[in-house]
């Protein structure tokens, strides 16, 4: 395969017909930086209809082109039509890379169309680097239980397909380009060939206590937390105007729900303040924390978490929590 025949980087735009999913905007902003280095155009691919004001948001993230795709098969999400769309368009335009938000839908169709195209798909990278010598994208992510940072490339095949978790990158729009190209494509998929049927729709109940992705303060408890101590960490979080979160072992013990798990396989958080109590500092956890101020409380002075924090407190987590509560109440 001659890689020079493949150019431009695509971002799949996920939307519900009204609003674009934030992960698509995050990806556009991050991939803009790679395109500036590689000389590729940044292309936002939009299956189905989005309003003009939502299209403006895509352009504000620096997209050079929009491909607006109409046709049958997109009325509701399904693997076949979405996978077919990227298979057909990738064969026609030959993008160098296609990035898809690692939402439930994105995780479903991205590897599917990558397999159709007989190319590679990597998931959950926490950093993307463009290598100007090889012209490959380096997908960096924790591996082997967080002991190493693996650099994954797709050195021979194109396009390079990657799914990226929501919240991995920041949405910092660089502004609309002076010249933008709008391309309209029609790719129809026979609805009768869709193998799944919609039986009903139940919206996910929104519980603001479980929405830790966008909160400013996070009090995070690690594996040693006792069930009876949870209320005081919750109280501390509330006094600081924030929310309680946890590490994976706390979810595994079923003390707190998965939606409160911070980290590589949980939620990526960007709070102003993060306080970790009894958190060891495993890469799989800290890779999900991008905090302005990071405080760690651990009884082991050699705990790895102290390599990441701005302030470290060596001591018993419950005692330190009690002291913080007393100080705040005073
Ligand atoms: C593919 C993969 C994905 C993963 N994804 C995630 C993820 O998304 N999020 C996540 O959190 N983990 C994730 N993990 C697990 C991760 O590798 C760690 O095992 C986990 O983060 C450790 O949690 P912990 O720090 O709470 O527990 P531990 O590693 O058990 O650390 C507990 C810490 O508490 C300290 N301590 C003990 N008692 C006290 C006390 N009384 N007072 C103060 N300190 C005390 C100890 O010194 C220790 O440092 C993942 C692992 C893999 C393999």
Would you list the domain boundaries of the chain? Answer: 3-193, 208-329
* CATH topology (fold) of 208-329: Rossmann fold (3.40.50)
**Closest atom, ligand 1, to C-alpha of 288:** 8
Please state the rounded mean pLDDT for residues 244-253: 97
Report residue 6 CA to chain centroid gap. Answer: 26
Q: Which helix (H) or strand (E) covers residue 163, if one does?
A: strand 160-164
266 lines ligand 1 (CB under 6 A): yes
Contacts 24+ apart (CB under 8 A), 87-93: 87/113, 87/116, 87/117, 88/187, 89/45, 89/185, 89/187, 90/117, 90/159, 91/117, 93/8, 93/67
55 Ramachandran zone, left/alpha/beta (phi>0; psi -120 to 50): alpha
Mean pLDDT score of the chain, rounded to an integer? 95
Structure tokens at 59: 């352009």
**Rounded to the nearest whole angstrom, what is the distance from the C-alpha of residue 106 to the centroid of ligand 1?**
28
Residue 206 in this model has a pLDDT that exceeds 80: no
pLDDT tier for residue 177 given thresholds of 50, 70 and 90: very high
300 lines ligand 1 (CB under 6 A): yes
CATH class held by domain 3-193: alpha beta
| Helix axes 104-116 and 79-93, enclosed angle (nearest 10) | 50
Please state the rounded mean pLDDT for residues 161-180: 95
- pLDDT given for residue 143 in this prediction: 87
Mutate which of 228, 285, 324 for ligand 1 pocket (most atoms within 8 A of beta carbon) = 285
- pLDDT given for residue 205 in this prediction: 77
pTM: 0.85
Residue 295 in this model has a pLDDT that exceeds 80: yes
Question: Can 3-193 and 208-329 be said to share one CATH topology?
Answer: yes
249 lines ligand 1 (CB under 6 A): yes
Collapsing DSSP to helix, strand or coil, 73 comes out as coil
Please state the rounded mean pLDDT for residues 159-170: 94
**Rounded to the nearest whole angstrom, what is the distance from the C-alpha of residue 204 to the centroid of ligand 1?**
29
pLDDT in tens, 10-48: 999 999 989 999 999 999 999 999 999 999 999 999 999
- pLDDT given for residue 214 in this prediction: 86
């Amino acid at each position: 395969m001659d890689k020079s025949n493949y150019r431009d980087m695509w971002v799949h735009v996920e939307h519900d017909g009204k609003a674009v999913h934030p992960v698509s905007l995050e990806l556009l902003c991050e991939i803009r930086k790679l395109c500036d280095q590689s000389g590729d155009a940044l292309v936002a691919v939009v299956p189905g209809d989005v309003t003009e004001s939502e299209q403006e948001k895509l352009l504000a993230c620096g997209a050079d082109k929009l491909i607006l795709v109409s046709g049958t098969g997109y009325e509701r999400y399904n693997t076949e039509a979405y996978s077919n769309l990227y298979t057909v368009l990738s064969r026609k335009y030959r993008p160098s890379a296609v990035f898809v938000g690692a939402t439930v839908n994105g995780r479903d169709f991205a590897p599917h169309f990558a397999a159709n195209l007989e190319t590679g798909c990597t998931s959950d990278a926490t950093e993307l680097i463009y290598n100007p010598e090889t012209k490959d994208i380096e997908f960096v992510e924790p591996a082997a239980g967080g002991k190493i940072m693996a650099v994954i490339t797709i050195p021979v095949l194109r396009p390079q397909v990657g799914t990226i978790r929501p919240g991995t990158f920041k949405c910092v729009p660089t502004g609309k380009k002076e010249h933008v190209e709008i391309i309209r494509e029609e790719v129809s998929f026979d609805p009768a060939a869709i193998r799944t049927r919609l039986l009903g729709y139940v919206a996910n109940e929104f519980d603001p206590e479980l929405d830790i992705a966008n909160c400013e303060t996070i009090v995070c408890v690690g594996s040693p937390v006792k069930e009876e101590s949870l209320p005081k960490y919750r109280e501390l979080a509330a006094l600081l105007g924030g929310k309680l979160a946890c590490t994976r072992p706390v979810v595994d013990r079923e003390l707190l729900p998965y939606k409160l798990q911070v980290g590589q396989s949980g939620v990526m958080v960007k709070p102003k303040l993060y306080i970790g109590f009894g958190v060891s500092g495993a890469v799989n956890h800290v890779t999900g924390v991008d905090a302005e101020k990071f405080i760690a409380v651990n009884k082991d002075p050699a705990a790895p978490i102290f390599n990441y924090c701005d302030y470290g407190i060596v001591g018993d987590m419950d005692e330190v929590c009690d002291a913080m509560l007393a100080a705040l109440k005073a």
